[in-house]
Amino acid sequence: MNLVSLVMPFGVFVALLAAVGLYCLIVTRDMLRVILALEVITKAVTLLLIVGGLVSGHMALAQAFVITLIVIEVVVIVAAAGIVIAVYKHTGTLDIRRLRNLKG
Amino acid sequence: MPSLLVILPLLAVLLLNLPLNFLRRLALPAALLLALYQAAFALGVLPACCAGCPTQERWFLNALDPLTSVLLLAIAIVAFVSVFVLRATAGEERREFNMLNLVFLAVAGMNGLVLVRDLFSLYVFLELASIASFILIAAHREMGGLEGAFKYLVMSALATMMMLASIALLLALSGSTSFGAVAEALQAHARHGYVLTALGLFLGGLLIKSGVMPFHGWLPDAYSAAPAAVSTLLAGIVTKVTGVYALIRLVLDVFGFTPATQQLLLIFGAISVVAGALAALGQSDMKRMLAYSSISQVGYILLGLATGTGLGIAAAVFHLFNHAIFKTLLFVNAAAVEKQTGTRDMNQLGGLAQKMPITGVTSLLAMFSTAGVPPLAGFWSKLLIIAALWLSGFHGYALLGIGASLLTLAYFLSLQRRVFFGLVRAGCENVREAGWALTLPSLLLAAILVGVGLALPWLIGTFLLPVKGF
Amino acid sequence: MDPTFLKQQLLMNIILMGAMLLGALATVMLRQLVKAAIALAFTSVVLCVVMFKLNAPWAAVFELSVCAGLITVVFISAVSLVKPATEEERAAHIRFKTRRYFLLPLVLLLVGVGLSYVTGQPLPLPAAEPAGTELRSLLWGPRALDLLGQVLVLLAGVWGVVMLFKEEK
Amino acid sequence: MTNNLMYFAILLPAVISLLAFATRKMGKVCAATALLGAVVNLVVAIKLFGQTAAVHVPWTSWGLDFTLRLYSFSGFIVLAAAGFALAITLYSLPFMAKREHSGLFYFQLLLSVAFANGAALADNLILLLFFWEGLLITLYGLIAIGRPGAWKSAMKALVLVGVSDVCMMFGIALAGHFAGTMQISKMHLVLTETGPTLAFLFLIIGATAKAGALPFHSWIPDAAEDAPLPFMALMPAAFEKLLGIYFLARITLDMFALTPGSWCSTLLMTLGAITILVAVMMALIQKDYKRLLAYHAISQVGYMILGIGTAVPAGIVGGLFHMINHALYKSGLFLSGGSVERQTGTTDLSKLGGLARQMPITFFCFFVTACSISGVPPFNGFISKELIYDGALERGGIFYAAALLGSFLTAASFLKLGHSAYFGKVSEANKNVKEAPWAMLVPMLTIAGFCILFGVYNQLPLHKLIQPVLGEHRLEGHDYAGWHFNIMLVVGTLVVLALALLNHFIGVKRSGSGIGAADHIHYAPGLHQAYDAAEKGWFDPYELGLTLARGVGRVTWGVDRFINWVSDGLAVGVTAMFSYLVRSFHTGSLPIYLWWAIAGVALVIILLVKVN
């Protein structure tokens, strides 16, 4: 049993996690939940980075990446939340179907 | 020293925000100076780069090459122009200052992006440029801007997640993220399903970022709803650097040309060229039409890249540069029209060429350049792309490119006719030419367009063809 | 890393993964946003444990403090700015949820089954990094550029807060 | 310095023309600007004359280079054009003063000068074509600003000259293809192969049509009636002859080596002879001062083509000399017609008469130039015609006979013109006619002076202007200056002139008036019907083309509608439908956009896996 087959379960879980996030991203009608879905996908990717480091034996590098990723992630979430709140102030709802003024 | 191009904006942002009141007024000159410095720097290193001289980097940002220096120049020009537009359209002083800071950060992000040679650092700077743009798009906190920003943010986040997943997969494969190491590892296992999945995820992310059809959903909304200065920056350079440049760079340096990647670029390029032009044809919002036109033009760049030949790549990069110039010019003029008339709806405009002669004439130049009318710059790059396609044996795609040129001409003529020609519409009688802050950049960009077009025979040997040699 | 060690840990890891997946499912499916945010925090905590176990302590610490902590705070404060949903909306949401999310288990099943079919030649592993490479020296050495990027991104975040959250006069 | 001057020769008139355009609403200022432009141009031309220089700016890699070449011939053409431009500008000052569009006239006049200089100096065929086509634009513009409705004549000119220019374009492409270069001075093609011969023929069409030869001539008489008169003196009389014959000479002398006796040479001579005869026959029956002159402008081109077409030294020298002489006397004639028109308000010969007493100076100028054109010794036309006869006789009696017959008819028609305009009874309306103002007389007198000078002292033009163009080796050691002609030829000419005079008296006697002096020829059996047909435009390619086009147009109407439906209706409709389709996909819904992106990524991965 080598290292690669040992980390295979991680790979499967990453895929499942990402699938959950993507599914939610597409079907949800709540703008804040869109952000949550993005977060779930981010979790999957974080895990994948760690697993990648584990497999290749570059754990320190992977950790460095994950730390950077987490910092950036926070900023993205803040920006997204800011936009959602501003939209809410305009429309009084979080329904994503209200974001269809621009079309055609 | 290229590293300065990232560090100077950072320093500028930090210094300008010291709690001293007069500093705020220095922000605009500082931004202009920085852009000028960058343009001078890029022009300074360009000949050496094209001559193939190796550049020694003393700090952590690596090599300069022709592609990088061309992009640095384009970033400088567009940033310079959008600062002017910002001045003319931002309104409130406080907001103008805040937006300027974000422009600094976006420029730093783009500069970093074109200078790095490491996948993960590429991701970091790509995110920096993108985050700055989301916030800029939403800066006025109007409903349209917020909607565009949100769509852009979600799709861009999805794209970066794909790229990061791919980076993780490649990290497991090669143990490094530097271009060289990854390219080596990819070369060794080029046909493995694992590698192809990683490749596909990365390419998918980049295609979303470049706004290629069918990955483009966010693009027309973000472009058309953003504040004038931001859409200038965004359409002119941000998406071109974060998407198209990154795509070109990675395909050339890391992924390599395989029949599959070529096929892929050709297919998505062709879809973008045609569908983008078709979608632009029926628009009534000026900026939205320009946004769809952008998609179509990016399609041309992909087609040129797909040939994989020196000529095709050089033409693609040339078109990237030209596109930055003429699309910026068009967005500046759209800003001028919107500012002076209060609307972007082309059905409510008409006869503005009499009232706003500079805007009218420069728009016409830019449109002709986009549509590929000789001897403007856009004609040459389009011609070279089509020639490269033909020479590489992709005759069908070459013909498609020519046909789509007609569509380009058609929608731009309809724009010109509805906005600038014809009778002056009721309500437009008292329209005047926009101020110098908008006409000056227009003239500058138009001069570049014409100059590049006329100087082409010289440029082609000196700068254009060496691009392939990196 | 010692393969036998990994083998011993496999079952544990699978349990943790299952917990994480449950957390994710809860995040996307829980009706109330506050609860969903807490479910996300739970997912983060589990991820943090997984990282610890995979010998990534620094990343785990960041995950715990920033993702589980800071992001949850941001989220809950965002939710608190939003008016609570009316009864009608809640009822609509529940109807909507049962209609929309019933496909999710199916999708997950399909992904799992699909992945189990994925086979291929195992790829050779790259050379491991030299033993004793410290995160600190890595971050300040070869990855210093990323740190610079982080600083810039944080600055952008600051302006995000300034421009998007600040009340306009 | 000389190189810069060459740029100036093109740029200065162009720039000053823009000034004239800018000041077009300010009558006097504009006129002064134009005068300044003409003077400056003349100064530049004088400076350029006699020098040799070349400019070569590589521009694109496929033959289009910016190449100028100044040598004896092009310098001479530029000088001549500058001289005429100044004379005509001066003349226009009073003539155009009160007219509408005078600003536009000066603007286009100077622009024409710039284009003409460019065409004369260009050494690259494509560059030449550029300037050539530029002249076409000003040609259209100058005619169109004439009397109301002149745009019809302008359109006719544009179409006819445009068609010939297309032929020339084709010839240029062929010549460039066979020579492997677009540079005129580097072209050496032989006429023994089919390809180059074809190129030669197409180029010849362009050059001769510019000069006004058959069958692309028919716009000139119409323009004579519609366009402002100085235009006639400038374009068809001077510029177009100069450039057309200049280019013809360069084709036959430089680009292709035309040899005496080759069928191309015979073809040229035939073209020349037919042009002479047909046009002069038409001229003979005209009853309008300007129209009569216009037909002569066509007829005289025949002499030049005939002369150059002989490909023998005497003929070529004669042809080129005739070009400059023609430019002189024909502009002089047009200018005299202009003074008559300005002072009396008409150019209809039946309303004129007895002007010799009222406008003696004008009459004097007319007399000199008319003698010139008829080939009366010792005026300049006589010299050049003798040289052409000499060359033509060398190639065959038939051409000589045609030229001589042409001479007879020319003399006859000018006798008629002079008689009916300047002698006879003064009509009631013209009782108080006065001499034209000095600004109009000076150019006319200058031109008349040159006519005499170039005849009596023909060494000056022949030694300084014409013979250097050919060079020693082409002249085969001859010197044609002076008065040593074949005595038989001179006698022949004099006999013909005497016959013309006799014929005139007979005509006057039979019809009873000067204007009817040619009626006995006009109404001669056989000729009568031909004349009627010609007057109705049966031989006019433009009219024929129009008739043909109308017929074809009716037949193709249905086809056209169908194609129109396909292009305007179907294509636009289909495009609009697709556009609508593409747009309707953009519903603005984020989940749908996400779906596209995810499906796209799936497609990317599938493609990558499948194609590999």
Give the residue among B342, B339, B234 at the shortest CA–CA distance from B290: B234
Q: Which pLDDT score, from 0 to 100, does residue A4 have? A: 61
Q: Which pLDDT score, from 0 to 100, does residue B213 have? A: 86
Closest chain D residue to the Cα of A97, Cα to Cα: D589
Give the residue among B105, B160, B150 at the shortest CA–CA distance from B129: B105
Residue C167's pLDDT band, with cuts at 50, 70 and 90, is low
B424-433, C139-148, D369-378, D494-503, range with the lowest pLDDT? B424-433
Residue B248's pLDDT band, with cuts at 50, 70 and 90, is very high
Separation of first and last alpha carbons in chain D: 66
Which chains would you list as touching A if contact means 3+ CB atom pairs under 8 Å? B, C, D
Segment (H or E) for A87: helix A59-91
Q: Compute how many other C-beta atoms are within 10 angstroms of the C-beta atom of residue B437.
A: 18
Is A80 within 8 Å of chain D by CB?
Answer: no
How many residues are listed for chain C in this entry? 169
Q: Do B121 and C146 touch (CB under 8 A)?
A: yes
Is A57 within 8 Å of chain B by CB?
Answer: yes
Q: Could you give phi then psi for residue D70, rounded to 5 degrees? A: -110, 120
B6-15, B171-180, D221-230, range with the lowest pLDDT? D221-230
Chain D nearest-CA distance from B151, in A, is 6
Q: If you average pLDDT over residues D85-112, what whole number do you get?
A: 80
Q: Which pLDDT score, from 0 to 100, does residue A2 have? A: 57
Q: If you average pLDDT over residues D410-437, what whole number do you get?
A: 80
B173-182, B253-262, B343-352, C33-42, range with the lowest pLDDT? B343-352
pLDDT greater at residue D370 or residue D232: D370
Q: Which pLDDT score, from 0 to 100, does residue B58 have? A: 47
Q: If you average pLDDT over residues A32-48, what whole number do you get?
A: 91
Could you say which of D61, D592, D601 has the minimum Cβ distance to residue B162?
Answer: D601
Q: Which pLDDT score, from 0 to 100, does residue B470 have? A: 40
Residue D122's DSSP bridge partners are: D68
Q: Please report residues of D whose CB lies closer than 8 A to that of B205.
A: 601
Judge whether residue D94 has pLDDT over 80.
Answer: no
Q: If you average pLDDT over residues B299-314, what whole number do you get?
A: 89
Q: Which pLDDT score, from 0 to 100, does residue C103 have? A: 78
**C-alpha–C-alpha distance, residues D575 and D577, integer Å:** 5
CB A86 within 8 A of CB A74: no
Q: For chain B, what is the mean pLDDT?
A: 85
**C-alpha–C-alpha distance, residues B354 and D11, integer Å:** 29
Chain D nearest-CA distance from B158, in A, is 9
pLDDT greater at residue D426 or residue B124: B124
Could you say which of B151, B220, B260 has the minimum Cβ distance to residue D611?
Answer: B260
Residue D333's pLDDT band, with cuts at 50, 70 and 90, is confident
Q: If you average pLDDT over residues B346-362, what whole number do you get?
A: 81
Judge whether residue D59 has pLDDT over 70.
Answer: no
Angle, CA A52 vertex, CA A46 and CA A54 arms, to 5°: 105
Interface probe for B, chosen from C140, C143, C159 (most Cβ of B below 10 Å), is C159
Q: What is the pLDDT of residues D27-56, one digit of tens each?
A: 778 888 888 888 888 888 888 887 788 877
Judge whether residue B340 has pLDDT over 90.
Answer: no
Alpha carbon separation from B107 to B5, B233, B237, D339 (Å, rounded): 9, 10, 10, 73
Residue A1's pLDDT band, with cuts at 50, 70 and 90, is very low
Q: If you average pLDDT over residues B206-233, what whole number do you get?
A: 90
Residue A5's pLDDT band, with cuts at 50, 70 and 90, is low
Residue % of chain B over a pLDDT of 70: 94
Judge whether residue B59 has pLDDT over 60.
Answer: no
Judge whether residue A39 has pLDDT over 80.
Answer: yes
CB D341 within 8 A of CB D347: yes
Is D594 within 8 Å of chain B by CB?
Answer: yes
Chain C nearest-CA distance from B116, in A, is 9
> In the A/D pair of chains, how many CB contacts fall below 8 A?
26
Cα dihedral C82, C87, C93, C96 sign: negative
Q: Compute how many other C-beta atoms are within 10 angstroms of the C-beta atom of residue C71.
A: 24
Judge whether residue B54 has pLDDT over 60.
Answer: no
HEC string of C41-71?
HHHHHHHHHHHHHCCCHHHHHHHHHHHHHHH
Q: If you average pLDDT over residues D452-461, what whole number do you get?
A: 82
Chain D nearest-CA distance from A22, in A, is 9
Q: Please report residues of B whose CB lies closer than 8 A to that of D593.
A: 151, 155, 217-218
Judge whether residue B62 has pLDDT over 60.
Answer: no
Q: Do C163 and B125 touch (CB under 8 A)?
A: no
B131-145, D61-75, D274-288, D359-373, range with the lowest pLDDT? D61-75
Q: Which pLDDT score, from 0 to 100, does residue B78 have? A: 93
Q: Could you give phi then psi for residue D69, rounded to 5 degrees? A: -140, 125
Judge whether residue D432 has pLDDT over 70.
Answer: yes
Chain B nearest-CA distance from D433, in A, is 49
Residue D249's pLDDT band, with cuts at 50, 70 and 90, is confident
Q: Which pLDDT score, from 0 to 100, does residue B154 have? A: 93
Q: Which pLDDT score, from 0 to 100, does residue B158 have? A: 93
Q: Do B127 and A58 touch (CB under 8 A)?
A: no
Q: If you average pLDDT over residues B241-253, what whole number do you get?
A: 91
pLDDT greater at residue D498 or residue B2: D498
Q: For chain D, what is the mean pLDDT?
A: 80
Q: Which pLDDT score, from 0 to 100, does residue B60 have? A: 53
A29-33, C81-85, D137-141, D515-519, range with the lowest pLDDT? D515-519
Q: Which pLDDT score, from 0 to 100, does residue A41 have? A: 93
Q: Do D587 and A26 touch (CB under 8 A)?
A: no
Question: Which two tokens mark D426?
Answer: 């003064």
B358-367, C33-42, C101-110, D100-109: which is most confident = C33-42
Q: Which pLDDT score, from 0 to 100, does residue D55 have? A: 79
Q: Which pLDDT score, from 0 to 100, does residue D62 have? A: 59
Q: Which pLDDT score, from 0 to 100, does residue B61 have? A: 57
Could you say which of D60, D575, D583 has the minimum Cβ distance to residue B457?
Answer: D60
Q: What is the pLDDT of residues B148-165, one digit of tens each?
A: 999 999 999 999 999 999
Could you say which of A38, A69, A72 has the minimum Cβ distance to residue B154?
Answer: A38
Judge whether residue B298 has pLDDT over 90.
Answer: yes
Report CA B346 to chain centroid distance, whole Å.
Answer: 24
Q: Please report residues of B whose CB lies closer than 8 A to that of C123.
A: 173, 189, 192, 194
Q: Which pLDDT score, from 0 to 100, does residue C131 have? A: 67
CB B147 within 8 A of CB B159: no
Omega of the bond leading into C126 within 30 degrees of 0 (cis):
no
Q: If you average pLDDT over residues D113-140, what whole number do you get?
A: 84
Judge whether residue C80 has pLDDT over 90.
Answer: no
CB D542 within 8 A of CB D153: no
Q: What is the pLDDT of residues D581-612, one digit of tens each?
A: 888 888 888 888 999 999 999 999 888 888 76
Q: Which residues, 6+ apart, have CB-to-CB distance to D197 below 8 Å?
A: D191, D264
Judge whether residue C169 has pLDDT over 60.
Answer: no
Chain B nearest-CA distance from C57, in A, is 18
B206-220, B358-372, D305-319, D340-354: which is most confident = B206-220
Q: Which pLDDT score, from 0 to 100, does residue B188 have? A: 84
Q: Which pLDDT score, from 0 to 100, does residue B469 have? A: 47
Q: If you average pLDDT over residues D201-213, what whole number do you get?
A: 81
Residue B308's pLDDT band, with cuts at 50, 70 and 90, is confident
